[in-house]
Structure 1
Amino acid sequence: MAVVWNKHLVLGLVLGFCLVFSLGELERFVESPKADGSLAFLVVGDWGRRGNYNQTEVARQMGIIGEKLDINFVVSTGDNFYEDGLTGVDDPAFKESFVNIYTHSGLQKQWYNVLGNHDYRGNVEAQLSPILKKVDSRWLCLRSFVVNAEIVELFFVDTTPFVDEYFREPKAYDWSGVLPRKPYLSNLLKDVDLALKESRAKWKIVIGHHPIKSAGEHGSTAELIAQLLPIIQANSVDLYINGHDHCLQRISTSDSPIQFLTSGGGSKAWRGYVSWPNPEELKFYYDGQGFMTLQVTEAHIDVVFYDIEGHVRHHWSV
């Protein structure tokens, strides 16, 4: 049930420092901006490979930049554990791909994670379990939720159940909590729409694993274009951020004011593939490993893409 926003209406304590509030059916977490009202965070996706494919090197640069910017938190765009998610809460992959990799002091902040399609190939409830927080207090993974940081709100959306092909593949997916699919998606879209409508933040950012628009190997997601894009356009969303394609990119199309950003270079990257019909709309594309940072104030958002050596590959502001 929706409630009027009130910082002093505390419904519960989550993660030691985040407050959780009711907002439609989506859980809501609160992050406090810095003393000057600004906010900074990292975005990385498609990373969980036990340090392989340069995951460790990307993590090191994330730590260096994270410490320099004094980030508030880290966002993961999904595919947290390859190839098939976690087998359970005691799966050693959690430590081998997360705890033992992101050890830099600059990364000892809250992590907000969404599920990717590879995570759905494992035990989804394991990733969602609060037991993992006891292993590493930074971890938070939910299907869909909201993070409010006053000047900006982040809306995390569970995109994997939208994609038709996963329901046709012989590979097993863990659809517990999703089936029946039609009402799950219908309720999710209503909840996202309500949360966006109730937002009073200056900036609105929607985050999911799958791209709405992408020049990468997977390309744009037709189901999201048909079902999610109309909602986020109607609610004046500024950025849509995703992973899934193992690259870094920014697309700005003539038919939408939304910037489409991909940060899926956390480990294994795809080199040599790029396809977009209008080159003028593809503002940046890098088919290597890396991550993204966002610095947010009342007046502007600064987006920077970094490669595996910590070099700036692209900088954009709005």
Structure 2
Amino acid sequence: MAGHDHKPLVLVLVLMVIFDPSFSSAELQRFHHSTKNDESLSLLVIGDWGRNGNFNQSQVAAQMGRMGEELDIDFVISTGDNFYDNGLEGVDDKQFEDSFTNIYTAKSLQKQWYSVLGNHDYRGDAVAQLSPVLRKIDSRWLCMRSFIVDAQIVDFFFVDTTPFVFKYWDDPEDHHYDWRDVAPRHQYVADLVKDLDAALRESTAPWKVVVGHHPMRSISEHGDTPELLEQLLPILKANGVDLYLNGHDHCLEHISSTDSPIQYFTSGAGSKAWRGVYKQNADDLRFFYDGQGFMSLQVTKTDAKIMFYDVDGRRLYEWSMTKQLHPSM
């Protein structure tokens, strides 16, 4: 996981992070993922998927397997709402296998999955998804609240966005949320924002990508997330973040910021989709699709390419970007 000296010490620290769900959730722990020999990286992004194969989850999974092989992916990102409707009941909940292990069976998908928690995950035993027990059941699974994946040419910053949203703390529908290791909200969010800002400033990777469950910008059912626009977006703008990836809205969309270089991508169409929902948005809408599907990201030091696919594996939309590297890179 890491190319450091003093390997025994690093191993102990990594094991502490992975296997101790009570480890301070506001500290951004770092994991390392190598690029290919040509210094490129390929991955898939899927969100809002865990429905025991229903609502076309199995069909989307099959097409992910096909594209995963074609792109020779290095890993998969899950943008949250991993298990519906109310997360997992515990580490022995069979839904983990029924919605994950037994669904994403293609050979190309037997890679590391980096996952964040969504609001539906918080409605169950959120700590269970962080547990080492699940990794023993399926070694692909790595879910933490907030963390960094250092993939050499890209730093991925995974952010626990659910605690930012006020309405979950006083849910009018009386849903239970598992706030263990999170409450009180104001301290948790403040620590997370501070640590994320510091980590972004320290990053020297050519690309900076932030991953969260909730959208910054969206034209679908949930729309923009005001708490993220107020507390998180200024940090992303100040630190040169290139992409923000999210789920939550059950669709595929690309929105460009009108006052910064940030590109917003929603990939929350892993199973149940919301048809016909469309709201106006202040930023620049590039693409919107209200059906099921997923996203791919291919990156080199100078180029990034994103593709959206539908439930049948058809390519719906492609976007690419080239950047000039600083001489020190």
TM-score (norm 2): 0.90
1:285 and 2:288 are equivalent in the alignment:
yes
Q: Shift of the alpha carbon at 1:180?
A: 1.0
Equivalent of 1:227, from 224, 228, 231? 231
Q: Deviations over 1:260-293 (max 9, x none)?
A: 0000000000010111245x81100000000000
Aligned match of 2:129: 127
Moved over 3 A (4+): 5-11
1:148 and 2:150 are equivalent in the alignment:
yes
Distance 1:200 1:7, change over 3 A: farther
Distance 1:184 1:287, change over 3 A: same
2:70 corresponds to which letter in structure 1?
A: K
Structure 1 residues not aligned, in runs of 5+: 19-23
Aligned match of 1:21: none
- Equivalent residues of 1:276, 1:282 under 8 A apart: no
Q: What percentage of aligned pairs have identical amino acids?
A: 60
Equivalent of 1:270, from 269, 274, 277? 274
Aligned match of 2:264: 260
Aligned match of 1:317: 320
Structure 2 residues not aligned, in runs of 5+: 19-25, 322-329
Comparing both structures, which one devotes a greater share of its residues to helix?
Answer: 2
- Equivalent residues of 1:41, 1:72 under 8 A apart: yes
Equivalent of 1:294, from 289, 297, 300? 297
Aligned match of 2:249: 245
> 2 CA distance for matches of 1:96 and 1:158?
25
What is the correspondence of 1:1-318 to structure 2 with a 5 Å cutoff?
Answer: 7-8=4-5, 10=7, 11-13=9-11, 14=14, 25-169=27-171, 170-277=174-281, 281-318=284-321
- Equivalent residues of 2:34, 2:152 under 8 A apart: yes
- Equivalent residues of 1:248, 1:290 under 8 A apart: yes
2:245 corresponds to which letter in structure 1?
A: I
> 2 CA distance for matches of 1:87 and 1:12?
32
Paired residues, number: 306
TM-score (norm 1): 0.93
> 2 CA distance for matches of 1:207 and 1:7?
26
Q: Deviations over 1:222-242 (max 9, x none)?
A: 000000000011000000000
Greater displacement, 141-150 / 254-263: 254-263
Greater displacement, 233-242 / 254-263: 254-263
> 1 CA distance for matches of 2:281 and 2:66?
36
1:64 partner SS: helix
